Amino acid sequence: MTPAVFVAGTDTGIGKTHAACTLMHALRAEGRRVCGMKPVASGCAETAQGLRNDDALALQAASSEPVPAYDEINPIALREPLSPHLAAAHAGVTIAMLALQTAFRALDARYDTVVVEGVGGWRVPLAPQLLASDIPRAWGLPVILVVGLRLGCLNHAVLTAEAIAADGCRLIGWIGNCIDPDMAAIEENIDTLHALLPAPCLGILPHGLAPAHAAGLLQQGVQQL
């Protein structure tokens, strides 16, 4: 397994965090010391400890001991649930690659694998000259794509895979996440994704199964990376 991976999604709200945490549990079961990272998070709640994001907290909780500090996992936390470039502008915050990379390097030096979760989809803007896709490009991270299994996922998955390749990044696998338990022809859609996506399927996550319990579904896929 590579020392770090970037978890991208076909859209927002399709379960990147759920898949990333499940992947982390699968890696831990393989004996690896793992931590998660959410470089940029919008939609954070005000707490006594500062702004906190549910996704980043989930990644922190799924990390191996010693659990990294919250600010390392989520160096840029933004209050408003907006596209990061808008939430940052409203908060008077500048999102810069240097601060994100400094936090990543600190984690990368202490863990066998860092699972870096993106924000929204592949081309979400972070700043006027910075996109979410610039993170894996700048850090040389291979990409795992989370496909939210619902109507429209085929188009979103293929377009995202094409964008990943066009940006010079390497797609090493994809995870199907059943966000719509009533999706019609789900098995046929999964078969179509197998045929269309230029990377192996690492596993299909059923609806409503917690990451720690779903980790075994990714075990074989993880061993192939």
Q: What is the pLDDT averaged over residues 177-199?
A: 97
Q: How far apart are the first and last CA of the chain?
A: 5
Q: Which domains does the chain have, with CATH numbers?
A: 4-224 (3.40.50.300)
136 band by pLDDT with thresholds 50, 70 and 90: very high
Percentage of the chain beyond pLDDT 90 is 96
pTM given for the model: 0.96
- Computed over every residue of the chain, the mean pLDDT equals 96
Q: How far is CA 129 from CA 50, 75, 84, 99, 103, in A?
A: 27, 19, 13, 15, 20
Q: Is the pLDDT of residue 1 over 70?
A: no
Whether residue 38 lies in the annotated active site: yes
- From the list 16, 18, 25, 38, the catalytic residue is 38
